[in-house]
């Protein structure tokens, strides 16, 4: 079918009925995206937008998700298609799970890891390192506002934080460096600073928590770094712009 209905004003029941009709036309109790494009009335993107994913649309229609019958190339082709539609050269498993025809766990069962599937599809591997600095700083800003104060590294998890500490440590090595970068982010932008203050956050770079490096012996006799809380020395009553901080402020750690 060359012309597809965009779906404005179309109800869930109408979409479900069309899915069932298309599957019936094939004499099957399931249908693939490729088949639905040929026999269905609506666009795949409409079904995904309405139901969250292709699999959920099939479940809502009482149809089976026959992933075990799908070839590796069909899975890879679907991954490539989703990436192409999003205009990206890599894709997270979570994003694919919400938009793809198949489920992430099916891809993992076939290829072992998500990145192996991406490589097989000719895409770049996915890593938390792909998260932009702006996204990391915006997330830190939101967390800081929710808490009304500086977050501890152990608090960086959902639902409070969109990201764990891993992408921060991938980019900034230590939690102390992460906090120092966020201070710079705030101090160099009056709008961001005002956002913090207007949300009731008492902002004072002099009382920022530093990460004290503590060496602890492991069973193998090696050492590992453990982040500890420690206050920066200084006058807590004076707001010091970050640009006034010099290298010595963070020395000795």
- DSSP assignment string, 47-97: HHHHHSSHHHHHHHTT----GGGS-HHHHHHHHHHHHHHHT-S---HHHHH
Query: Pick from 217, 189, 214: which is nearest to 203 by CA?
Result: 189
Give the model's pLDDT for residue 226.
41
Contact 252, 210 (CB under 8 A): no
Provide the token pair at 17: 């009925």
User: pLDDT band at 211, cuts 50/70/90?
Assistant: very low
Burial class (CB in 10 A: 0-12, 13-18, 19+), 99: buried
Question: Among 115-119, 124-128, 149-153, 196-200, which stretch is predicted with the lowest mean pLDDT?
Answer: 124-128
pLDDT tens, residue by residue, 94-118 = 788 778 877 787 888 889 888 899 9
Contact 128, 162 (CB under 8 A): no
């Amino acid at each position: 079918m060359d012309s597809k209905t965009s779906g404005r004003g179309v109800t869930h029941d109408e979409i479900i009925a069309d899915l069932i009709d298309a599957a019936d036309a094939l004499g099957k109790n399931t249908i693939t995206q490729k088949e639905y494009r040929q026999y269905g009335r609506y666009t795949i993107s409409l079904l995904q937008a309405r139901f969250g994913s292709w699999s959920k649309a099939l479940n809502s229609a009482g149809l089976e998700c026959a992933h075990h019958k799908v070839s590796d190339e069909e899975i890879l082709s679907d991954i490539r298609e989703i990436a192409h539609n999003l205009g990206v050269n890599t894709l997270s498993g979570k994003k694919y799970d919400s938009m793809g025809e198949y489920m992430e766990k099916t891809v993992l069962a076939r290829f072992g890891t998500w990145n192996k599937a991406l490589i097989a599809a000719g895409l770049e591997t996915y890593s938390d390192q792909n998260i932009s600095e702006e996204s990391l700083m915006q997330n830190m800003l939101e967390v800081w506002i929710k808490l009304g104060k500086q977050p501890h590294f152990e608090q960086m998890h959902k639902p409070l934080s969109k990201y764990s500490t891993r992408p921060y440590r991938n980019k900034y090595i230590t939690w102390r460096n992460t906090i120092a970068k966020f201070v710079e982010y705030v101090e160099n932008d009056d709008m961001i600073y005002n956002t913090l203050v207007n949300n009731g956050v008492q902002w004072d770079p002099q009382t920022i928590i530093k990460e004290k490096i503590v060496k602890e012996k492991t069973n193998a006799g090696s050492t590992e770094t453990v982040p500890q809380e420690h206050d920066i020395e200084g006058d807590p009553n004076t707001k010091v712009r970050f640009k006034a901080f010099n290298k010595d402020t963070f020395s000795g750690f």
